[in-house]
């Protein structure tokens, strides 16, 4: 059976982003833009490390230096379990509960929680606008907002903005006020960049590192204390991603889901239990 590249879009256009946001967000992540969503959420996480109050807490745990791959995998699994199965499914609730237990060990300001939540909405949308094989439709954009807003409520985050535009304004103003260089930013940023580089053969890392930095805007680079990539490399990376998107338009659609948890995970080659996720403390 042949599937048209835009069949999922036609289906999504008939759905209500308020009532059907879990279904729409599942399609965005598993079928329409799986690679792009993963890469853009990595950028989103890097953005949160540009905030000293956030990076200081993360740096203090030592997880980024000791077990960066496990921390990355744990975060990915928790997010994808909710996205694939829905936040109110059995597995989605388990993932949410585990995330709340992990966060409950630390004193995290509500405004920092709000900002992290906002990055999960807006960074994928911004990435898509630049590099997607097609632009997200309004249903997909609003479904992203409603999905993460509901997750935020279940995380007991207070004062989540009621509208997409209001939350986007919060995201922008928070970054303007809080993206400031600190040593903890630099340490967490270096550790995470090192993790990304470790996925490539050693001989490629010298070339990949500036390419990675080419994905970061000036405010991020300044907050980390990273040197910007040369202009020609920034253009080359952006153009390569745009060309990739154009090529994808002519390829057949995905007919099976491509979620991260559908494939072997580096930290859990033999599978995982949600209760295993996160660093263990003495109470566990």
Q: What is the pLDDT of residues 144-193, one digit of tens each?
A: 999 999 999 999 999 999 999 999 999 999 999 999 999 999 999 999 99
Tell me, yes or no, whether 39 lies in a domain: yes
Confidence of residue 61 (pLDDT cuts 50, 70, 90): confident
Tell me, yes or no, whether 44 lies in a domain: yes
282 pLDDT more than 60: no
135: domain range? 7-251
Tell me, yes or no, whether 2 lies in a domain: no
Tell me, yes or no, whether 271 lies in a domain: no
Tell me, yes or no, whether 234 lies in a domain: yes
Q: What is the pLDDT of residues 120-149, one digit of tens each?
A: 999 999 999 999 999 999 999 999 999 999
**What's the average model confidence in pLDDT over 27-49?**
97
Cα dihedral sign, 272-69-143-28: negative
Tell me, yes or no, whether 262 lies in a domain: no
More confident residue, 171 or 64: 171
2 pLDDT more than 60: no
The whole-number pLDDT of residue 194 equals 95
Tell me, yes or no, whether 277 lies in a domain: no
Q: How far, CA to CA in Å, does 133 sit from each of 4, 119, 136, 257, 263?
A: 14, 21, 9, 17, 23
Number of domains, the chain = 1
3 pLDDT more than 80: no
Tell me, yes or no, whether 274 lies in a domain: no
């Amino acid at each position: 059976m042949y599937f048209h590249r835009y069949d999922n879009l036609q289906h999504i256009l008939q759905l209500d982003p308020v009532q059907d946001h879990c279904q729409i967000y599942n399609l965005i992540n598993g079928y329409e833009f799986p690679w792009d969503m993963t890469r853009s959420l990595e950028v989103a996480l890097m953005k949160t490390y540009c905030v000293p109050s956030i990076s200081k807490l993360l740096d203090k745990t030592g997880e980024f230096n000791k077990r960066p791959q496990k921390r990355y995998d744990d975060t990915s699994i928790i997010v994808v379990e909710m996205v694939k199965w829905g936040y109110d499914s059995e597995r989605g609730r388990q993932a949410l509960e585990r995330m709340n237990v992990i966060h409950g060990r630390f004193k995290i300001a509500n405004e920092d929680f709000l900002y992290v939540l906002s990055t999960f909405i807006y960074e994928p949308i911004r990435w898509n606008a630049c590099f997607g094989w097609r632009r997200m439709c309004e249903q997909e954009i609003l479904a992203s907002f409603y999905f993460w807003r509901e997750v935020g409520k279940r995380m007991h985050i207070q004062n989540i903005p009621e509208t997409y535009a209001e939350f986007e304004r919060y995201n922008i103003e928070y970054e303007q006020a809080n993206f400031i260089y600190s040593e903890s930013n630099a340490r967490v940023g270096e550790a995470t960049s090192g993790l990304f580089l470790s996925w490539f053969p050693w001989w490629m890392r010298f070339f990949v590192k500036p390419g990675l930095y080419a994905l970061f805007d000036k405010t991020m680079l300044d907050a980390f204390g990273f040197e910007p990539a040369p202009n020609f490399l920034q253009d080359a990376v952006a153009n390569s991603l745009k060309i990739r998107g154009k090529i994808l338009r002519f390829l057949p659609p995905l007919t099976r889901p491509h979620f991260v948890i559908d494939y072997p995970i580096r930290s859990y080659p033999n599978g995982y239990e949600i209760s295993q996720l996160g660093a263990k403390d003495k109470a566990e």
